[in-house]
Chains A and B, each alone.
Chain A
Amino acid sequence: MPQHRVPLRSIAAVCLLALAACGDDTETRPRPEPEPPVEEQITPAPGGLRKLTAKQYEASVRLIFGDGVLSELEIPQDTSALGLDAIGAVEHAVSPQAVELYELTSRRLGELSLSDPTARQRVMSCTPSGVADEGCFSQIAERLGRLAWRRHLETEEIEGLVAVALLAAAEYEEPEQGVAAMVSAIVQSPDFLYQVEIGDANDEQPTHRKLRPSEIASRLSFFLLGRTPDLQLLDRADAGELDDEQGVRAVAAELLELPEARAALRTFYSEIFNLRTIMQIQKDPETYPFFTDATRAAIAEETLLFLDDIVWTRNADAREIFDADFTFVNQDNAWLYGLSLTGEAFQKISIDGRVGLLSKPSLLAKLAHPGMTSPTKRGLFVLTTLLCDPVPPPPEDVNPTFPPDDGQPKTMRQRLEIHMEQDGCKSCHAQTDPIGLALESFDAVGQVRETDQGLPIDLTGQVNGFGEFEGLSGVAQILREHDDAPICMARQLFRQSMGHLEVDGEEPALLAIDEAFANGGYSVQGLLVEIAASPAFRLVNEPR
């Protein structure tokens, strides 16, 4: 179970690295040998290509062409691997259907570069005077290419684009069609569609290749802002500002001031907390007639506002995610709390007994069946997503049997008891189900309930390695104090930033990130900077 072992090892190692932080026995233990810098301890993961995710593509063309193009995009859907689109973008090849949609969208962007005022202004740094105006075509290729390909273009590359423009202008007998064709070529090119993170050969230490300035600028921008770097950042990288840890740290902190930083983190949370598929949550209309599309949209926004408040508004301790007692309500989700409100504006309120992420209707509804709760889904989410401790698949010899249906009403606990006791099932269900059963005071859309099938609900439970608890507050308390919880937050963001599951060679860097996260009071903003400044982020091994 590497995903479990790494965090636990992490804790032990953090203590060794920072004895003072452990607060005991510092005087009696021998001083450890001075550690070499983390950079020398690690073996970075291989560099290579990362396809832009759909969200990164969208945010990048928005930066380049402006808001007017957003409704015209047909971006291929991402393929996820190991739970993240960012990893699928490294592992999988682009399909022919995707290539075709990239082409369609690129042609639309070409047309919009002529017709949409903002896009036109950004693209047409000159107006071609005729179908053979190589000078103007060349200028546009050079400028747009620099932004879209995140680097300076070579002469041959500019010539290639101009050739495209000349052919198109002649075919259409219309100079500006030459520009449209170049735009299409630029945004279809792998130089736009893939982040390039390869660096240059390092003869002294082949495993430690330094990313090129434009490459580190791109990695930083896609991670922190979710989009391609702007010209200013590319220039700063060229000027050497991202050449060392201090530089990256300083620039990362600046980038977090931009609104796109919030948007990028929203995208991340929407993915790992399943908020982006909120409109697909199906509920039994007879049991939950008020669970409308407006409610679906509101509960996703509620959850994102809750996270925004912790991370950005107050830059608070990230562990508040588990136990903060506030939420955001408007006319569309207030009824889930027994409240009645008017207006679309969200208000921040506190509600007794509803603490943390696990009390949010978005998660409680997603982690349920259409007409009943699912303690298994809820418990699985806690272990897998919040503690990075995935639960194995059912064993091969599992032979599910169920309690006889005697026609009597049963609580969910009574229905699931057999799962937690039977040999084949209990190895997993004895971990997941008790945690989920502690949340049985919330129904399948996240409303508080006192009974299940008219019967009283037992909210107590115990799971080895997790603890004893009662109800949501008990689970929240354990998560708040769980050693693996902040480490899991760091791992999830690290995977998102790098496009791969952490590898053994990166462990010293991961431990340093964990330590810094703890020392920084568990600030997510601080964590983002620490990941970006880490040598694991700034260096790559030979390309995969």
Chain B
Amino acid sequence: MKRNRLLELLLPTRATNLSPRPNVLGRRAVLRGVLAGGASVAVGLPLLEIMLSSHGTALAGGAQLPVRLVTWFFGNGVNRARWIPGGVTTPVTGPRYPLSEHLSPLAAVRDYVSVPSYFRNLCAQRQTHHEGMTLFNGYTYDASCPNNSPECFQGFYSNSGGPTIDQVAADYVGDLTPVRSIQLGVSKKISGADFGTTMHALSHKGPTEPLPPQRNPKLAYYTLFGSIPPLDDPSKPTRLSVLSAVREQAKRLDKRLGAKDKARMEAHLEGLSELEAKIDTVVPTCATPAEPTEENLDVGGVEPLALVNEIMSDLLAVAFACDVTRVASVLFHEGASDTVFPGTSVLGHHNNSHAFTVNDQGIEEDFGGLAGFNTGLTFTMTQLGYFLNRLMTTEDTPTTNLLDNAAVLVGSDCLDGWSHDFDSRQSLACLVAGRAGGRLVHPGIHTLQEGRNICDVTFTVLKAAVPEVESIGRLGEDPAASSTLVSELTASDAL
């Protein structure tokens, strides 16, 4: 993204309008101000050089550049023997750690990736796979049943215990961009072991407010780039007036509702508000990508996993560079789902994960799934590598790339897929990527802290993106909650 191409679109009046709010790039507020002032000109949404300090490292008013927050999930854990840098018995910590077999697809971005090993998942309940999602929110999942039933589906029903960190971040920065946050997915295979939504949606606003991933690239494109009407187009006031009428109808209905449905209607209205704000903004003038034709349909039962991942990654990189959104989640594939990776065709990845064992000496014993699992994990990390590399090779400011200004939490629902980590360690596979504008350590490190709350890692990533956040989860009530930074992962670099 070449920002200087956009400079010509900037009018002096716009820069003037920025000055009353030096600390926050209140993009939408700014644009509304311009419109209220009578100017009618398309302006670029991306950060413009004139708004940057002379080093291009911060906004002219001294505020930090925006940091993008991404969560990225893959299911069924890893093979510890081929994941931990240096190996299970001889782990090597610190910067420039040796790349293990599973991490080798991340070679190009290694300096942007840290590996926290053997942190502990303190989710207060466990029921295979579900507890792993605590990594993304700092809450123990909610297993209470509708209608106060004593039990539902014998323990396979659960919902997220609270908002995921991407949604916490969106509460702070979501209204600064046209799209508050986006949820994307790649594999369409669904876990058969979750009758709630804990594992089906990587993003939640709350226990019964799942934000399901969009797995169709065409529709992801629509959400990111396709739905903002041009300025002065009659569709803009028309759509706003329609949404206003819809809102009035919702209010009428609300009078008859009970508490639970009132909350659902409130969430629906929040969705309307997001849409209204988006319609009311200005079309991004940065070069948007071509609309993809791919719709993520299977041919011969084979999912177009790599293709969809690449398109989604490309869309996200442009969306970040254009400042269309700053918050995203990517559910690459669900835990306990039947996803089958290229090069494996006898068992799905989940079953492969249960068809071998690894012990504390790193000795593997194969029961038919080892090769397939390793192939699948290498493929998965290759896909993650594509995404991170795409961020790293996309210019954000003249001196930084998107990965410099991103905080990415990558994780799975267990460490050892084969055992669901029903061992004393109860760890999870996770990675931290990006420099978060200098707040995350660079080059990335391998840090091994057995027993420490893994949600400290989660909190560290969130706080790197949104420094105002003080904690995640229910402190003092839920052991998974955190308000403690992992100091080894943090930095205060000037980029």
Measuring CB to CB, which residues of chain A are less than 8 angstroms from any residue of chain B?
1-3, 45-46, 48-49, 74, 77, 79-83, 87-88, 90-101, 103-104, 106-107, 157, 160-161, 163-164, 167-168, 171-172, 177, 181, 184-185, 188-191, 194, 196, 198, 279-286, 291-293, 296, 369-372, 390-394, 396-403, 405, 500-501, 503, 542-544
A81 touches B196 (CB 8 A): yes
A296 touches B301 (CB 8 A): yes
**B419 located at the interface, meaning its Cβ lies under 8 Å from any Cβ of chain A in the complex:** yes
C-alpha spacing A28/B367, complex, angstroms: 62
Nearest-CB residue, chain B, relative to A166: B241
**B146 located at the interface, meaning its Cβ lies under 8 Å from any Cβ of chain A in the complex:** yes
B241 touches A168 (CB 8 A): yes
B208 touches A92 (CB 8 A): yes
Given contacts A392-B154, A405-B366, A501-B149, contact A164 B242 (CB under 8 A): yes
Which of A93, A106, A164 is the one whose CB lies under 8 Å from B241? A164
CB distance from A246 to the nearest CB of B (A): 28
CB distance from A455 to the nearest CB of B (A): 16
- Contacts A/B (CB < 8 Å), 18 sampled: A83-B153, A91-B208, A94-B267, A99-B268, A101-B219, A163-B241, A181-B241, A184-B242, A189-B246, A194-B253, A282-B338, A284-B346, A393-B154, A396-B422, A402-B355, A402-B367, A543-B258, A544-B260
Q: Which of A1, A79, A93, A98 has the most CB of B within 10 A?
A: A93
CB distance from A429 to the nearest CB of B (A): 12
A285 touches B246 (CB 8 A): no
Which of A49, A100, A370, A500 is the one whose CB lies under 8 Å from B340? A370
C-alpha spacing A157/B183, complex, angstroms: 35
13 new A-B contacts, CB < 8 A, other than A3-B153, A501-B145, are A49-B265, A91-B208, A96-B274, A100-B222, A101-B219, A103-B239, A177-B238, A184-B239, A196-B253, A281-B301, A371-B345, A371-B346, A393-B155
A405 touches B368 (CB 8 A): yes
Q: Which of B210, B259, B264, B367 has the most CB of A within 10 A?
A: B264
Nearest-CB residue, chain B, relative to A172: B234
Query: What residues on A are CB-neighbors of B302 within 8 Å?
Result: 282
**B58 located at the interface, meaning its Cβ lies under 8 Å from any Cβ of chain A in the complex:** no
Which of B205, B227, B355 is the one whose CB lies under 8 Å from A104? B227
C-alpha spacing A402/B154, complex, angstroms: 26
B128 touches A402 (CB 8 A): no
Query: What residues on A are CB-neighbors of B197 within 8 Å?
Result: 79, 81, 88, 92
- Chain B 319-354: CB-based contact to A (< 8 A → 1; otherwise 0): 000000000000000000010100001111001001
Which of A1, A96, A167, A543 is the one whose CB lies under 8 Å from B238? A167
Query: What residues on A are CB-neighbors of B264 within 8 Å?
Result: 49, 92-94
**B189 located at the interface, meaning its Cβ lies under 8 Å from any Cβ of chain A in the complex:** yes
CB distance from B342 to the nearest CB of A (A): 11
Nearest-CB residue, chain B, relative to A154: B252
Nearest-CB residue, chain B, relative to A381: B192
Given contacts A177-B238, A284-B345, A501-B152, contact A96 B211 (CB under 8 A): yes
Given contacts A371-B346, A393-B156, A503-B149, contact A95 B210 (CB under 8 A): yes
Query: What residues on B are CB-neighbors of A400 within 8 Å?
Result: 354, 357, 418-419
**B420 located at the interface, meaning its Cβ lies under 8 Å from any Cβ of chain A in the complex:** yes
B210 touches A79 (CB 8 A): yes
Query: What residues on B are CB-neighbors of A284 within 8 Å?
Result: 345-346
C-alpha spacing A87/B196, complex, angstroms: 10
Which of A103, A391, A394, A399 is the one whose CB lies under 8 Å from B128? A394
CB distance from B179 to the nearest CB of A (A): 9
Query: What residues on A are CB-neighbors of B145 within 8 Å?
Result: 501
Given contacts A81-B195, A399-B419, contact A190 B250 (CB under 8 A): yes
Query: What residues on B are CB-neighbors of A107 within 8 Å?
Result: 239
A77 touches B212 (CB 8 A): yes
Query: What residues on A are CB-neighbors of B439 within 8 Å?
Result: none
Query: What residues on A are CB-neighbors of B196 within 8 Å?
Result: 81-82
**B2 located at the interface, meaning its Cβ lies under 8 Å from any Cβ of chain A in the complex:** no
**B261 located at the interface, meaning its Cβ lies under 8 Å from any Cβ of chain A in the complex:** yes
**B51 located at the interface, meaning its Cβ lies under 8 Å from any Cβ of chain A in the complex:** no
A292 touches B347 (CB 8 A): no
B211 touches A82 (CB 8 A): no
Nearest-CB residue, chain B, relative to A395: B422
**B298 located at the interface, meaning its Cβ lies under 8 Å from any Cβ of chain A in the complex:** yes
C-alpha spacing A283/B177, complex, angstroms: 43
A2 touches B151 (CB 8 A): yes
A181 touches B238 (CB 8 A): yes
Nearest-CB residue, chain B, relative to A103: B275
C-alpha spacing A500/B189, complex, angstroms: 25
Given contacts A92-B197, A100-B275, A168-B241, contact A160 B345 (CB under 8 A): no
Which of A163, A283, A503 is the one whose CB lies under 8 Å from B301? A283
CB distance from B274 to the nearest CB of A (A): 5
C-alpha spacing A91/B351, complex, angstroms: 31
Query: What residues on A are CB-neighbors of B366 within 8 Å?
Result: 405
C-alpha spacing A392/B154, complex, angstroms: 5
Query: What residues on A are CB-neighbors of B275 within 8 Å?
Result: 96, 99-100, 103
- Chain B 238-258: CB-based contact to A (< 8 A → 1; otherwise 0): 110111011011101100111
Given contacts A93-B264, A97-B183, contact A79 B200 (CB under 8 A): yes
C-alpha spacing A392/B195, complex, angstroms: 12
Given contacts A93-B263, A500-B147, contact A279 B154 (CB under 8 A): no
Query: What residues on A are CB-neighbors of B297 within 8 Å?
Result: 279
Q: Which of A88, A92, A291 has the most CB of B within 10 A?
A: A92
Query: What residues on B are CB-neighbors of A157 within 8 Å?
Result: 249, 252
Query: What residues on A are CB-neighbors of B347 within 8 Å?
Result: 369-372
Given contacts A49-B265, A171-B234, contact A390 B271 (CB under 8 A): no
- Chain B 371-385: CB-based contact to A (< 8 A → 1; otherwise 0): 000000000000000
C-alpha spacing A286/B300, complex, angstroms: 13
C-alpha spacing A274/B274, complex, angstroms: 34
C-alpha spacing A185/B243, complex, angstroms: 7
Query: What residues on A are CB-neighbors of B252 within 8 Å?
Result: 157
A544 touches B193 (CB 8 A): no
Given contacts A369-B348, A393-B128, contact A97 B214 (CB under 8 A): yes
Nearest-CB residue, chain A, relative to B181: A96
C-alpha spacing A125/B267, complex, angstroms: 35
A402 touches B357 (CB 8 A): yes
- Chain B 88-122: CB-based contact to A (< 8 A → 1; otherwise 0): 00000000000000000000000000000000000
C-alpha spacing A503/B146, complex, angstroms: 10
C-alpha spacing A392/B345, complex, angstroms: 29
Query: What residues on A are CB-neighbors of B367 within 8 Å?
Result: 402-403, 405
B209 touches A92 (CB 8 A): yes
**B299 located at the interface, meaning its Cβ lies under 8 Å from any Cβ of chain A in the complex:** yes
CB distance from A394 to the nearest CB of B (A): 6
C-alpha spacing A107/B243, complex, angstroms: 11
C-alpha spacing A49/B197, complex, angstroms: 19
Nearest-CB residue, chain A, relative to B147: A503
Nearest-CB residue, chain B, relative to A110: B242
Nearest-CB residue, chain B, relative to A194: B253
Which of B155, B256, B346 is the one whose CB lies under 8 Å from A543? B256
C-alpha spacing A393/B336, complex, angstroms: 12
C-alpha spacing A290/B169, complex, angstroms: 49
Given contacts A100-B271, A282-B340, contact A370 B345 (CB under 8 A): yes
A79 touches B212 (CB 8 A): yes
